Amino acid sequence: MYHNPVLLKKSVDDLVTNPDGIYVDVTFGGGGHSREILKKLSPKGKLYSFDQDLDALKNTIDDERFTLINQNFRFLENMLMAFGISKVDGILADLGVSSHQFDEAERGFSTRMNAPLDMRMNVMQVLDAKKIINEYEEEQLASIFYYYGELRESRRLAREIVKHRQTKKIETTEDLKKLFSYIPQFKQNKFFAQVFQAVRIEVNQELEALKEMLVQSYKILKPQGRLVVISYHSLEDRLVKRFLKNGMFEGEPARDIYGNFSKTFDLLQTKAIIPDEAEIAENSRARSAKMRVGIKI
């Protein structure tokens, strides 16, 4: 079961401005956003969707306007070039992990179910959570927990893991959780969510892939083309916000003598768009969602 797409109508309404255009859904998943985009396209319109997860291929759409590309969205530009596409009218990204990936216990994404430490979105890749937990140096682990999990006690967590694995390999999600039994019960849900998020981001190189996709999006969008991004945690949203504001992820852009810099996008709305209470009540995943829409200058 794939999740109900968050901000489905709003995101697609803001994305599709030319029914005859070429659009890209870089996070196909269960195909909810892609199906909605196709509804708004004319017979001349085209949609290319990306997903690196083999399970997503089972949801492919039988429509001659549609092409599903089984690749990570960090290869956006090259894969579209292979199909003869150099410019597009709009790009949509619904980031994060699908409900399907969380619910498939053996994938190891969920804190609720015991499973092998895996967390790979692309099951063909070598790096998985088990390798990270059992082989990364203490400093590397502390850095992952601090930057990707936003955990202040990151050094202690890394030390506990390294100490434990010297006598016994950490094989499963339960093995990992047991190491932190000292965390008070009322804090455990949030704590384990942050730990798992940190490891998952490292396994899938999520933030690096997002940066690469955003840079390529700007290159392949036509002037007035739209970039719509839905994110679910502050690390992603910060990158998207900064990129749409000044085309950079860190630092400040060069300014002229009047203090102006060359903008790359206009924002459809200055503040992030969030789901209303009705959608949050219907779909708990929507609670943390933030959508930003950039219009290429």
Annotated binding residues for S-adenosyl-L-methionine: 31-33, 51, 73, 94, 101
C-alpha–C-alpha distance, residues 9 and 32, integer Å: 10
Parallel, antiparallel or unpaired: strands 88-94 and 22-25: parallel
Q: What's the 3-state SS for 239-287?
A: HHHHHHHHCCCCCCCCCCCCCCCCCCEEECCCCCECCCHHHHHHCHHHH
Q: Up-side HSE of residue 76: CA atoms within 13 Å toward CB?
A: 27
Edge-to-edge strand order for the sheet containing 46-50? 66-69, 46-50, 22-25, 88-94, 221-231, 290-296, 265-267
Measuring CA to CA, which residue among 297, 240, 234 is closest to residue 265? 297
**DSSP label at residue 205:** T
Can you say how many angstroms the Cα of residue 172 is from the centroid of all Cα atoms in its chain?
Answer: 24
Task: Point out the annotated binding site.
Answer: 31-33, 51, 73, 94, 101
For the chain, helix, strand, coil in percent to 5 are: 45, 15, 40
